[in-house]
Structure 1
Amino acid sequence: MVAAGGDGDRMGGNKPERELAGRSLLNHSLAWAMAHSDEVAISVRSKEQVFEQPTVPLLIDRIGGIGPISALDSAFRFAAQQGREMVMLIGCDQPFLPSNLPSMLQLGIGANGCALPVSHGRDHPMAALWRVNRSALANYIGGGGQSLWRFADAVGVTRVDWGDGCDPDLFANINDPAALAKAESQLSPRSD
């Protein structure tokens, strides 16, 4: 599931369609997701946020105003409809996710409800593998919960350490024009 429902205020709005190296941020994330799964969908906050010609199912979040946890709710619904026991949730603004992320999280999840990567001491719940548990999520949201971190802790989380030697930008979220410019420079061919 590619979460693309954020406001993108720091980016000046419409973050999923911002261009990076000739493609939208959303297209970068979709390409990554499609390389790792035969079932991919996009989660958005409202019908007004529908993007041009999505090539995968577009899901409207049922619950607004609660942040990325609403995308996880959409992801759980979609995964359950597809008969999947687990679902990977990524942000539309993460163009550098490592190719071995799904396999490493799959190895790490064990009996827990979530496996998420950790790099340089930081958790990355927007690049996590979740065991579908719609009732636990409904109870969490119904009780006022909105934090992906706290929900991960509630269902049991395995933190998969990427180590301090990895590129810190592997899990970077592109949240503002400066981060977009930095990502563009990382993807641009060097002339040296």
Structure 2
Amino acid sequence: MPEKQMDKATSSTATVILAGGRGRRLGGSDKALRILNADPLVQHCLRRLKDQEDVNGDSPIGPVALNSNCDARHYADFGLPIIADTIGADYGPLAGILAAMDWACDLGHAQVMTIAVDTPFFPKNLTARLVAERTDMPIAMAATVDAQGHVWPQPTFGLWATDLRNTLRDDLETGARKVITWARSQGVTSVQFKTGTQDPFFNINTPEDLALAQTILMQEQDRI
């Protein structure tokens, strides 16, 4: 754990969309660019970020970047900074989180939120709750609670103190790979969301998931 925690941002939170997965079960295509209802998944995530609930009357969302190791030219239409993993390939999602920390820290942010590009229905109060509930821990991580009361961590949806980056870099180099295991070693607050009739962290891994996401999206639009 870092010796001194940096102050939490009060006005906005830097955010990185993690899109480093190879999408093997979706035919090996770039997940960020997979089409859902005529738009790429990354566009759905950007809309969801735009819809995040305000904190004390202010938008909680600051600068947004996309973490991907693909050709940055593929994402030119989105106008986002594209940040590749800074430690090398094949380190898993922790490498994307490290890249997010490095990018946000370079911009002067004490914390950075990460979300997964294949999870387009994440809660609209995600940012507000992560910021509010991180308290004195360096990490706040989203989790779902099912009808039986079981808690399921959502490791790629977290708020991370950027001064953890050197610790994370060292730990990756010595074998750390599991996000939840590493987060617990540093100190993490679990921010719990009820699933209700729909899991807000439903993620798209297969063609069948993509078809189900289309149905969920249509149901959401019908409720508007």
TM-score, length of structure 1 as denominator length: 0.91
**Equivalent in the alignment of 2:46:** 30
- C-alpha displacement of 1:50: 3.9
**Equivalent in the alignment of 2:23:** 8
| 5+ long unaligned stretches in structure 1 | none
Q: Is the 8 A contact 2:142 2:154 kept in 1?
A: yes
- C-alpha displacement of 1:181: 0.5
- Which residue among 190, 204, 210 is the counterpart of 1:159? 190
- C-alpha displacement of 1:162: 1.4
1:138 and 1:90 mapped to 2: Cα distance? 20
Matched letter for residue 65 of structure 1: D
1:75 and 1:2 mapped to 2: Cα distance? 9
- C-alpha displacement of 1:38: 2.3
Q: Does 1:55 align with 2:70?
A: no
Relative to 1, partners in 2 of residues 1:141 and 1:23: Cα closer, same or farther, differing over 3 Å? same
- C-alpha displacement of 1:64: 0.7
**Equivalent in the alignment of 2:135:** 110
Matched letter for residue 81 of structure 1: D
2:79 and 2:209 mapped to 1: Cα distance? 27
- C-alpha displacement of 1:34: 4.5
- C-alpha displacement of 1:31: 2.5
What is the aligned-residue identity percentage?
Answer: 28
Structural RMSD (CA): 1.8
Relative to 1, partners in 2 of residues 1:144 and 1:17: Cα closer, same or farther, differing over 3 Å? same
Relative to 1, partners in 2 of residues 1:49 and 1:66: Cα closer, same or farther, differing over 3 Å? farther
1:187 and 1:5 mapped to 2: Cα distance? 24
Give CA-to-partner distance per residue, 1:37-93, whole Å, 9 cap, x none.
120000112437843433110111122101111110110011101110110011111
Relative to 1, partners in 2 of residues 1:167 and 1:118: Cα closer, same or farther, differing over 3 Å? farther
Relative to 1, partners in 2 of residues 1:175 and 1:49: Cα closer, same or farther, differing over 3 Å? farther
TM-score, length of structure 2 as denominator length: 0.78
**Equivalent in the alignment of 1:41:** 65
Give CA-to-partner distance per residue, 1:77-112, whole Å, 9 cap, x none.
111011101100111111101111111111211111
